């Protein structure tokens, strides 16, 4: 081959190489531009979520050339270093639980302790109110042992002689059902047993259950009038002598209402005892309810008035007013209650006057109940401390005496130990 031919071949090779180089550079630049445009993402119509994720309407479909360019670009990207020794999986592939888009070897965030806002941490979780009596049936064990078990033992023994009937009567009286209710129950049991007979323990239980439930007047309206009406909050007065559990009941009741989705305002009209207002305020804070209070020794009626006014201004569903139970004279206490009620009625209807009675005080509680009932229109009874007594029969007696339904029962010092009273569930708890 001549020198001139060799030079010609070298020139041609050089020209081809230069052409190939130029073509490559142009293609690479085009691909880069295409990728950059795709990475910019949509310019409008998107929503920046708090998490920082960009949300947008579905993107238009990519052209074939763009798809090819993207695949090639991904293939050309330098591989991420995965130090195998640090990984739990052994084959270098993503393991279960690995984040999809975060490089698996990047430092991950651990759990971080975060302080929640004050108000949120104060508001407690509240147990549902439905079925509380069933759930708290164990709290009635004292009454069950002394009353339910004894009665079932006597009736289940078969034919009862006069001595056995006397024992049934004594058991009912000891459990505080009162003479009238006891006589009624014994005579119903005697006639039913004489008519149908009782052969098994199950029959004895069924008969006793139906007689006791009937004696509790299951058709009485036990609903709590605590819902707002005519654009105003419902107003409930909680009354009773000192120490029976008025403040505690008011606090527990606020929880019941809040658990039901209501908003509540508390009025601390027990100005006689400063600690009572503090106690009520604490209950309120636990469920996010405001408390209106006055100066120690101040006028309870004016606190009640302010509470209802504030409740109307803030638009709460229910205003609960805790009253004082201690005054120097019975007349003074009753006059004061009357005044509280009259003053509240200047702005709103008093929907309920709940009389709180301590079940452990037996006949004493009943005497108090009579005094209150003579002076104020009691609409419902709350029987507290049933967990601390074997005399659960007071429920029968107090309803009979006052002709007012027991609406709620206190079954312990726990914040959610207040249950709606249901005759069937109550008798079931007594009979085990």
Q: Is 323 helix (H, G, I), strand (E, B) or coil?
A: strand
Q: Which CB sits closer to ligand GTP, 172 or 333? A: 333
Q: With binding defined as CB under 6 A, does residue 362 bind ligand GTP?
A: no
Q: With binding defined as CB under 6 A, does residue 143 bind ligand GTP?
A: no
Q: Is 188 labelled a binding residue?
A: no
Which residues share a beta bridge with 47? 55
Q: In the bound complex, what is the minimum distance in angstroms from residue 120's beta carbon to ligand GTP?
A: 26
Q: In the bound complex, what is the minimum distance in angstroms from residue 272's beta carbon to ligand GTP?
A: 7
Identified binder of ligand GTP from the candidate list 178, 284, 410, 423, rule CB under 6 A: 410
Length of the chain: 432
The edge-to-edge listing of strands for the beta sheet with 234-239 is 290-293, 264-269, 318-323, 234-239, 350-358, 380-384, 406-410, 418-420
Q: Which CB sits closer to ligand GTP, 311 or 325? A: 325
Q: In the bound complex, what is the minimum distance in angstroms from residue 301's beta carbon to ligand GTP?
A: 17
Q: Is 245 labelled a binding residue?
A: yes
Q: Is 298 labelled a binding residue?
A: no
Q: Is 244 labelled a binding residue?
A: yes
Of 256-285, which residues contact ligand GTP (CB under 6 A)? 270, 273, 276
Q: With binding defined as CB under 6 A, does residue 428 bind ligand GTP?
A: no
Buried/exposed code over 72-106 (b: 16+ C-beta within 10 A; e: otherwise)? eeeeeeeeeeeeeeebeeeeeeeeeeeeeeeeeee
Q: Which CB sits closer to ligand GTP, 341 or 385? A: 385
* Closest listed residue to residue 360, CA positions, set 402, 412, 405: 412
Q: Is 263 labelled a binding residue?
A: no
Q: Which CB sits closer to ligand GTP, 245 or 380? A: 245
Q: Is 267 labelled a binding residue?
A: no
Q: Which CB sits closer to ligand GTP, 207 or 257? A: 257
Beta strands in 11-74 (DSSP E): 47-48, 54-55
C-alpha distance from residue 244 to each of 48, 320, 405 (Å): 57, 17, 18
Do 384 and 369 contact (CB within 8 A), yes or no? no
- Number of residues near ligand GTP (by CB under 6 A): 22
Q: Which CB sits closer to ligand GTP, 171 or 247? A: 247
Site string for ligand GTP, 306-345 (x = CB under 6 A): -------------------xx-------------------
Identified binder of ligand GTP from the candidate list 291, 384, 389, 397, rule CB under 6 A: 384
Q: With binding defined as CB under 6 A, does residue 388 bind ligand GTP?
A: yes
| Residue in the shown chain whose Cβ atom is closest to ligand GTP | 410
Q: With binding defined as CB under 6 A, does residue 411 bind ligand GTP?
A: yes
* Closest listed residue to residue 223, CA positions, set 86, 420, 72: 420
Q: What is the spatial distance between Cα 229 and Cα 233, in angstroms, rounded to a whole number?
A: 7
Q: Which CB sits closer to ligand GTP, 246 or 407? A: 246
Q: In the bound complex, what is the minimum distance in angstroms from residue 371's beta carbon to ligand GTP?
A: 15
Identified binder of ligand GTP from the candidate list 281, 352, 387, 428, rule CB under 6 A: 387
Q: Which CB sits closer to ligand GTP, 272 or 305? A: 272
Rg (CA), the chain: 39
- State the residue for tokens 């004594």: 170
Sort 163 into a burial class: Cβ within 10 Å, 0-12 / 13-18 / 19+: exposed
Of 226-245, which residues contact ligand GTP (CB under 6 A)? 240, 242-245
Q: In the bound complex, what is the minimum distance in angstroms from residue 106's beta carbon to ligand GTP?
A: 55
DSSP string, 364-393: HHHHHHHHHHHHS---EEEEE-GGG-S-TT
Q: Which CB sits closer to ligand GTP, 204 or 253? A: 253
Q: In the bound complex, what is the minimum distance in angstroms from residue 322's beta carbon to ligand GTP?
A: 7
Q: Is 352 helix (H, G, I), strand (E, B) or coil?
A: strand
363-372, long-range: CB within 8 Å, 24+ apart, which pairs? 363/176, 365/244, 365/394, 365/398, 366/394, 366/397, 366/398, 366/401, 368/240, 368/241, 369/398, 369/401, 369/402, 370/401, 370/402, 371/330, 371/334, 372/239, 372/240, 372/334
Q: Which residues bind ligand GTP (CB under 6 A)?
A: 240, 242-248, 270, 273, 276, 325-326, 384-385, 387-388, 410-413, 417
Q: Binding site for GTP: what residues are annotated?
A: 240-247, 322-326, 384-387
């Amino acid at each position: 081959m001549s020198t001139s031919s060799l030079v010609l071949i070298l020139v041609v090779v050089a020209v081809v190489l230069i052409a190939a180089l130029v073509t490559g550079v142009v293609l690479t630049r085009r691909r880069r531009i295409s990728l950059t445009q795709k990475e910019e993402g949509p310019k409008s119509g998107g929503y920046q979520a708090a998490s920082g994720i960009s949300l947008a309407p579905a993107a238009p479909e990519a052209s074939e050339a763009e798809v090819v360019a993207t695949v090639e670009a991904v293939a050309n990207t330098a591989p991420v270093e995965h130090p195998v020794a640090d990984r739990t999986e052994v084959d270098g592939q993503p393991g279960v639980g690995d984040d999809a888009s975060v490089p698996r070897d990047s430092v991950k965030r651990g759990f971080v302790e975060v302080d929640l806002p004050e108000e949120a941490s104060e508001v407690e979780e509240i147990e549902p109110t439905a079925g509380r009596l069933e759930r708290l049936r164990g709290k009635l064990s004292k009454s069950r042992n002394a009353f339910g078990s004894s009665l079932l033992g006597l009736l289940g023994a078969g034919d009862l002689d006069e001595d056995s009937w006397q024992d049934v009567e004594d058991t009912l009286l000891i459990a505080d059902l009162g003479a009238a209710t006891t006589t009624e129950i014994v005579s119903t049991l005697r006639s039913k047993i004489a008519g149908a007979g009782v052969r098994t323990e199950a029959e004895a239980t069924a008969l006793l259950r139906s007689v006791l439930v009937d004696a509790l007047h299951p058709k009485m309206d036990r609903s709590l009038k605590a819902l707002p009406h005519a654009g105003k909050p419902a107003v409930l007065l909680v009354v009773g002598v000192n120490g029976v559990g008025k403040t505690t009941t008011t606090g527990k009741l606020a929880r019941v209402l809040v658990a039901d989705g209501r908003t509540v305002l508390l009025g601390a009209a027990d100005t006689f005892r400063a600690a009572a207002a503090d106690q009520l305020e604490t209950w309120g804070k636990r469920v996010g309810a405001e408390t209106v209070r006055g100066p120690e020794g101040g006028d309870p009626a004016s606190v009640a008035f302010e509470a209802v006014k504030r409740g109307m201004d803030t638009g709460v569903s229910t205003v609960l007013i805790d009253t004082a139970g201690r005054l120097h004279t019975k007349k003074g206490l009753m006059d004061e209650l009357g005044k509280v009620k009259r003053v509240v009625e200047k702005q709103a209807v008093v929907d309920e006057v709940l009389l709180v009675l301590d079940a452990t005080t037996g006949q004493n509680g009943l005497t108090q109940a009579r005094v209150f009932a003579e002076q104020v229109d009691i609409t419902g009874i709350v029987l507290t401390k049933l967990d601390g007594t074997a005399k659960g029969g007071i429920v029968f007696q107090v309803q009979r005496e006052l002709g007012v339904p027991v609406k709620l029962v206190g079954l312990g010092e726990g914040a959610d130990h207040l249950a709606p009273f249901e005759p069937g569930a109550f008798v079931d708890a007594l009979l085990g």
